[in-house]
Amino acid sequence: MTDKSDNALLSLIGKRVPVLDRGFVELQDLMPHPATGVSGDLAIVSAARTSFLGEGKGDEKDRKLLNYLMRNKHTSPFEMVEFKFRLKAPLVTWWQLVRHRMASLNMQSGRYVEFEDDEYYVPAVWRKQSQSNKQASDGVIDPSDDEVLTKELVAHYERCYKLYQDALSKGVAKEMARLFLPGFAVYYTGVWKIDAHNLMRTMQLRIANEAQEEIRVYASAMYEHFFKPALPWTAEAFEKYVLSKPEA
């Protein structure tokens, strides 16, 4: 693999991918940065050899070593690559992302920033409760009920936002007025930084079929639009030795 920066990798920085109805995933930074001329895959194999960045032994040997690392779960070299994302997601998604505690996180604060009236997640469809899994959904409800529920949800958001605005107009502090807002549905924007090893662990769990749809779409966007283009050899080994294997 060439270790020269190219336009394709540079174009990932600042790229934004829409997710859900109002959310997005944006890559703010990548280490090693494409401008250094060192690919992420090469940074991983170089770290495994404890040599200087950019010092590879040719594509065939480097790729073979990377596959060896993934296959045998030698994870620390994968921590040498980092992704810094800016995400806009409903709280129901953040609620699950924060469980991955090896990431660094900084989020918008409702104490300082006033929420907008369109900052709520409205699902495209309403899913049924799974009969075999207490925490999962399975299938969708009747379309006629779907439309009614969506109208009721939007009306609920509008009423809650009016109560929020009324509280602000009475001089209530933003940190208290936000109690009127529907918690799980509010969109928050935050910066989420994570190394490649822990990002793979996140994606392994959150792309899985049993994961909640609202987290799956974010994990899939991070993987398909950013992880795979930035680390093609790593992604290939990840799919071969991790994603294709059920957890023990």
**Residues carrying an active site annotation:** 206
- Residues paired with residue 191 on neighbouring β-strands, in sequence order: 86, 106
Q: Are residues 192 and 103 in contact, defined by beta-carbon separation less than 8 angstroms?
A: yes
Q: Are residues 128 and 138 in contact, defined by beta-carbon separation less than 8 angstroms?
A: yes
User: What gap in Å lies between CA 94 and CA 19, rounded to an integer?
Assistant: 13
User: What gap in Å lies between CA 20 and CA 25, rounded to an integer?
Assistant: 10
The residue whose two tokens read 């992302």 is 97
* Residue at 3: amino acid letter: D
The residue whose two tokens read 């969506």 is 150
